[in-house]
A and B are shown apart, each in its own frame.
Chain A
Amino acid sequence: MKTWKTSALAVAAAVGMTAVTAVEARDQIRIVGSSTVYPFASYVVEEFGATTNFQTPVIESTGSGGGLRLFCEGVGVNTPDITNASRRMKPSEFDRCMDNGVTDVTEAMIGSDGIVIAQSADNEKLDLTLEHILLAVAAQVPQNGEMVDNPYTNWNQIDSSLPDRRIEILGPPTTSGTRDAFEELAMEKVSAKYGFPEEYTDIRADGVYVDSGENDNLIVQRIRENKDAMGVFGYSFLTENADTLNAASIDGVEPTVGNISRGDYPVARSLWFYIKEAHEGVVPGIDEYVSLFMDDIMIGEDGLLIDEGLIPLPAAEAAEWRDRVANRVNVERSDLE
């Protein structure tokens, strides 16, 4: 029993020692970032692992902001090599990168993601405008030059052409990147146009807009059962459930691959990833991984990621980004402002 205990202690000590030394070398790419880009990036990661002799990279879903925070922490093997983002890097994040010595960063745009407003297919399709959506979800709305608490409870109160149906919107919570994008694209950008004070992004909290969790599958399930409700979620969940759901057109534009890709559909955002150039040549395989991601096989119009719900860039734009990435053009602060 005595020897057993001594050896257990020795093992525990050894475990502790190696934990400290194990981080000094790394031959596995580390990727962090957006949960929206995660399904696409992990697809590429798996493909990369299966079709090359490199180790399969580790990819962690931390959210766009969380990813950029880890990415900009500095240069060195205990920081990530690549971060994904469902929005462009902010100038403040760029500054932080620079301050921490992450000076050479390549930016890559891979495609877009649409945010759809959908309902159970048992309902008749809706044609909404951004104004309808804004008036339905805003905490306060302008009336006679004054901001009052949102009085709308039924869609036809907003516009008589809409059905007499209770407004009930199930959407992502504030921690979600989809929510950020929805607030920015469907509210902030258009609020001034419809008589709101500038850049209005407050979503009502009187039970009409229901935070329904980060998991878009839950929103899909709930609007399938609750026929009155509308759901706000990513385009890939719509294609996968096209048999049971229908999506509203916004400002007369249907959420289709073509419309989102061309930028006609108003509630769409671009997807990005950022490469830490200082790690190239130190961590093996970064160049090959990036080339595979940017390849037509993945993000081209018939690429594998399109089946997964990615909206491809128009061909010319895709070629331009492929060039920029291949030449490792550094992102400049002026690009981001």
Chain B
Amino acid sequence: MQRRLTGSANDPRIKARYRGERRFKAYTVTALFVAFAIIVAFFTDIISQGYSAFYRTEINVTLDYNERAERIGRFALAEDMREIVSRGAVRSIPLDIRNNPELAGTTRQEWVPTYSRVDQYFKGNEELPPEMAAQVEELKEAGVIRTTFNWAFFTSGDSKLPELAGIFSAMVGSIFVLFVTLIFAFPIGVMSAIYLEEFAPDNKLTQLIEVNINNLAAVPSIIFGLLGLAVFINTFGAPRSSAVVGGLTLGLMTLPIIIISTRAALRAVPDPIRLGAFAMGCSRWQVVRDHVLPLSLPGILTGTIIGLAQAMGETAPLIIVGMIAYIPEAPGSIFESATVLPAQIFTWASEPRKAFVEKTAAGIIVLLAVLLTLNAAAVFLRRKFERRW
């Protein structure tokens, strides 16, 4: 009796298996589709809410540095303009005159931002009282009101006046914080990893350390915030809200990520390279410096960039060390109070003014753009320098 070992396409059992495979494939495609749809919906929503923050409405006015304007800046404007022009454009006039007395009595013609409600009216987000709407429409017809790219969003700090609010101070804060994180976590992380991977004996102690490092990488970030508060602020007396405290706190958080990725990169360097170098009489330090480290550097950098990108989007630990603060001016050093991009988004999201909705979304767009750039850099480094053995 002959037993059929290979089934024909008509065999019902084979058919059932194919059906099963097709069904499973359909599930995976659906999952992918759902994930993709969520991302598309998210981006569409954020971009449609946020793109209008990248342009703003400006008005051409005459600023008259007269006597009354020396006390209250608004009086530098013609009477019918006072409601339309942003207060932020004129409030510093008394101070300007005091600091530069030669300004008194002069006039100048300038493009200044409009009041946020006028801006929002032209963007279709808010209504204006009918008279005011008619007035601004007329001014627009006459070319006195224009719409331009909102450079101020990138060059000025936070403001309570939505028409002036920008991300500059948060950006500078984020850069300072990441700088401190990098300076702190990169050398310590890489050194620790080199020791553990290249020098350390394999015993109970190093195993314990290894387990702990892996655990640290999974600790919720807010715990690092509490640690930062206790150690850097309360014990060492570092200034609250400053980039140095935020950076060191995020550094603690990034440290295990850098150690783990560096160890993986070092492990990827094949042993024959080490053994070859040893055979030539190299010391362990020479092997690491001249052979292992250069070969694993792309992997180390990739891991570091991903760690930094994660730190960049972190908010929770920074709340604890006081970085959710109102910082209109960019910090001048890492010891001054600073805020960071995600914290800025968080602050704007809780503002009652509707005009901050677009600012919030625009902040998210900028943050996403920065994160995508960082991750793209990581991918690029890996692609460009990665070596396979």
B237's contact among A12, A23, A39, by CB below 8 Å, is which? Answer: A23
Number of contacting residues on B, CB 8 A?
Answer: 42
CB-based contact A216/B352 at 8 Å: yes
CA distance A23 to B336 in the complex (A): 10
Per-position binary interface string of chain A over residues 222-252, scored 1 when its CB falls under 8 Å from any chain B CB and 0 otherwise: 0000000000001011011101000000000
Smallest CB–CB gap between A220 and chain B, Å?
Answer: 9
Q: A12-B183, A15-B183 are in contact. Are A53 and B329 (CB under 8 A)?
A: no
Residues of A within 8 A of B324 (CB): 60-61
Contacts of A123 in B (CB 8 A): none
CB <8 Å contact, A43 and B92? no
From residue A107, how far is it (CB to closest CB) to chain B in Å? 23
Q: Known interface pairs A45-B326, A56-B328, A78-B237. Does A51 touch B92 (Cβ–Cβ under 8 Å)?
A: yes
Q: A12-B187, A58-B337 are in contact. Are A20 and B236 (CB under 8 A)?
A: yes
Residues of A within 8 Å of B238, CB to CB, are 19-20, 22-23
Asked whether A1 is an interface residue with its Cβ less than 8 Å from the other chain, the reply is: yes
Task: Give Cα distance in the complex from A216 to B354, angstroms.
Answer: 12
B197 to chain A, nearest CB (A): 18
Give the CA-CA distance A305 to B96 in the complex, in Å: 24
Is A217 in contact with B349, judged by CB distance below 8 angstroms?
yes
Interface string of B60-96 (1 = CB under 8 A from A): 0000000000000000000000000001100110110
- Of the candidates A1, A19, A61, the one whose C-beta lies within 8 Å of that of B335 is A19
> Which residue of A has the minimal Cβ distance to B237?
A23
Stretch from B31-39, B217-225, B239-247, B369-377 at the A interface: B239-247
Given the known inter-chain contacts A19-B335, A61-B324, A215-B349, please indicate yes or no for A8 contacting B187, CB distance below 8 A. Answer: yes
CB distance from B81 to the nearest CB of A (A): 18
Name the interface residues of A8-65: CB closer than 8 Å to any CB of B: 8-9, 11-12, 15, 18-20, 22-23, 28, 30, 35, 38-39, 42-43, 45-47, 49-53, 55-56, 58-62
Q: Which of B95, B241, B353 has the most CB of A within 10 A?
A: B353
Interface string of A191-224 (1 = CB under 8 A from B): 0000000000000000000000011110000000
Which residues on A sit within 8 Å (CB–CB) of B269? none
Contact of A59 with B187 at beta-carbon distance under 8 Å, contacts A18-B335, A308-B160 already known:
no
Q: Is B289 an interface residue (CB 8 A)?
A: yes
Give A237 Cβ to nearest chain B Cβ, in Å.
Answer: 5
* A78:B160 contact, CB within 8 angstroms: no
Given A20-B237, A38-B326, A58-B325, the answer on whether A9 and B187 have CB atoms closer than 8 Å is yes
Closest chain B residue to A35, Cβ basis:
B350
With an 8 A cutoff between CB atoms, is A114 at the interface? no
Residues of B within 8 A of A35 (CB): 350
Bound together, the chains give a CA A147 to CA B376 distance in angstroms of 62
Q: Which 7 A-B pairs have the closest CB atoms?
A: A42-B326, A58-B337, A60-B325, A22-B335, A19-B238, A43-B160, A59-B326
B interface list, Cβ under 8 A from A: 87-88, 91-92, 94-95, 99, 127, 159-161, 180, 183-184, 187, 232, 236-242, 244, 289, 322, 324-329, 334-337, 349-354
Could you name 12 residue pairs across A and B whose Cβ atoms are closer than 8 Å? A1-B289, A12-B187, A19-B236, A20-B236, A28-B337, A58-B325, A58-B337, A78-B237, A215-B349, A217-B349, A236-B352, A237-B352
